[in-house]
Amino acid sequence: MTTKDAVLDDSEVNVEKVNLLGMSEEKLAAFFESLGEKRFRVKQVMQWMHQRGVIDFDAMSDLSKVLRAKLATVAEITLPELVSEQTSEDGTRKWLVRLAGGSCIETVYIPEGNRGTLCVSSQIGCSLDCSFCATGKQGFNRDLTTAEIVGQLWVAAKAMDSLDPTKDRVISNVVLMGMGEPLLNFDNVVDAMNLMMHDCAYGLSKRRVTLSTAGVVPALDKLGDVTDVSLAISLHAPNDELRNQLVPLNRKYPIAELLRSAQGYLEKLPDKRRKITVEYTLMREINDRPEHARELAALLVDTPCKINLIPFNPFDQSDYQRVSNNALYRFRDILIEAGYTVTLRSTRGDDIDAACGQLAGQVNDRTKRSQRYRQQQDKGLEAVRIIPS
């Protein structure tokens, strides 16, 4: 074989392309530096990707033809695959997107007045298995990459035709309250949130990006060192005994540790007026009694917070029931009388299973948990006997 025969044409060499979508400003700068390009290329490419929705390098007209050709060889902008879209009667929209490996996740857009909130997922499934959440019943597959988290925002904005600098921005808020526990995917979630807030990307305010956690205390302890987004904690019970049943993670990190860590996060923020949002899902005759409200008021007395009450949204594989309106308003009034700011989360999108706690997706479950729940449900159905009249 001659030397000439041994030389492969560039088209014959398999180059593993780098996905630019989830790269932070610094990572993109390092990437362009490796190509011998100047740093100003970072701003150009970020704006094309995130603000104009352009993923074809050939369409990036302010890049040189040589650079465009080079990028097409070594890089790509890869997005989650849009599988389906549903729209609720109340205007809520839900997208099912497929990721590498075949699993699907759900992303929800909730319009309300002059703002629109996008609820994004951080994992395929969830490893925590909170007893009142549909996602946990689906088991767990893996963490999402930064590109897969940001890609949900891109897909939703594109679907609503708002990836255009000449048009009004439809998505004003992003909450990491979808599938998964964000703090168990710490690095990718932080990079994604920082991209959402970047002026050359989506430009969201730090007050309009909210991370919700069930209480992964070690990760929460270091969150304030790397970002200053808004914080929500999924509490759902006023004492450890009850929360152990609803949120199994509480057995490892009890309420006192969670509140200590959340207060520590606030102390690291430069704006000392910031508050934590305490999320409390109300279930009929489980955690909705007046004594629970009074206990919650006493528990949070030293925590700067506002309280968001969420009526439980029923789903298959759950025996919990929605709180009655009387119990809901009674619970709210007790907290207001104790001096708290309290909001009631209205149920949105329940006709398309997009309400809080209902997101499920299609998870290639590595834990076999979903199979166990299905078997339990089947056994329960078999035990039902219909008595003829």
User: What's the rounded Cα separation, in Å, for the pair 214 and 314?
Assistant: 20
User: Which one, of 103, 213, 109, 195, lies nearest residue 150 by Cα?
Assistant: 195
User: What's the rounded Cα separation, in Å, for the pair 90 and 213?
Assistant: 27
| Sign of the dihedral defined by the CA atoms of residues 168, 182, 126, 99, in that order | positive
- What is the number of H-type helices and E-type strands within the chain? 13, 14
Identify each DSSP E strand in the chain by its residue range.
18-19, 75-76, 81-87, 93-98, 104-112, 115-119, 123-125, 140-143, 173-176, 209-213, 230-234, 276-282, 305-311, 342-344
In the chain, helix, strand, coil percent, each to 5?
Answer: 40, 20, 45
User: What's the rounded Cα separation, in Å, for the pair 20 and 22?
Assistant: 6
CA distances in angstroms from 41 to 10, 24, 47, 68, 193, listed in the order given: 25, 13, 10, 11, 22
Please calculate the CA angle 290-282-107 and round it to the nearest 5 degrees.
160
User: What's the rounded Cα separation, in Å, for the pair 21 and 154?
Assistant: 10
Q: State both tokens at 252.
A: 């490892």
Locate tokens 């990760």: which residue?
Answer: 219
The answer to whether residues 81 and 98 touch, using CB atoms and an 8 Å cutoff, is yes
CA distances in angstroms from 124 to 31, 79, 212, 347, listed in the order given: 28, 16, 16, 24
Active site residues: 106, 356
**Half-sphere exposure at residue 226, Cβ-oriented, CA atoms within 13 angstroms:** 16
User: What's the rounded Cα separation, in Å, for the pair 16 and 236?
Assistant: 45
